[in-house]
Chain A
Amino acid sequence: MDDQAVGTLSRAFNMDVFLRVKSLLAAQFGEAVVVGEEVAGLQPALIISGEWLPQVCLFLRDHEATYFDFLSCISAVDNGPAAETFTVVYHLASIPHQHQLTLKVMIQNDRRLDNLPVVPSVSSVWRTADWHEREAFDLMGIYFEGHPDLRRILLPDDWHGYPLRKDYEEAETYHGIPIK
């Protein structure tokens, strides 16, 4: 990379990268791995089948045409009580190629607190996913299978519930202290 390396956001997030990744994944894992795509917005996103996620991420990290070596962000999104789905969004960036990609995983879930939505952990691919996933577990209640240490991170260890869910109701008290 040189000083004058120029790139715009539109280039970083462009459709070429998106389409190339899509065909690479289809060639490597079969058509079933990409279950959908969102191309209407400013940043296209690939919807990946959850069970393939760690393999897909490892492939995208190490393949010479993609090299998504930097995981920018993992965001868990609650699609509302009516939808009964959660989305986990992965924003990947490539430092050598200077491009970006959005991956999404959709999970059906009945929102019961003893039945959390399950997504395979990608902390074996990017170590930074460790804290991202702990945060998503803590605030949204997504269970990341295979995570080495899935404890709460921002809230106290004995907190009940997952506050970023749309149907979260605050407790009246915490250790006998009124908090409402």
Chain B
Amino acid sequence: MKRLIVILSLFAAPLWAVQPDEVLDDPALESRARELSKELRCLVCRNESIDESNADLARDLRLLLRERLVAGDSDTQAIDYIVDRYGEYVLLKPTTSGANWLLWLAGPLMLLTAAGMGWAFVRNRSTATTSAEEALSTDEQERLRRILGE
């Protein structure tokens, strides 16, 4: 917490997430920039995208991103440009490269496993006709007859 205070007090005049002077004149380009900046991490913040962050560094990244877009980069080129300089840590949505396929496939694989187990269980329950419940003891049958008879 103390460290947090120190960090925050460095920005004595708190800056704002996207500033009016950053906004590009071309609305199509600006909306692309906004979408892309939601996927880039502010490196000095805790789990904030540069679109949300008030930090100086986030502002620099936003300006850099817009510069690249104005220079005619495609979305992937602009992102690659920033990843080249800041590392894959800036990506809030990890790539599927290397071991990351584990992350992306964890859900679907688990779903398949669970669905398989669930299906096996449900099948087992629907075919198990003679369970303990249905096999009544003679006492119980007697009781049942009495109840039904009344």
Q: Report if A and B associate in a common complex.
A: no
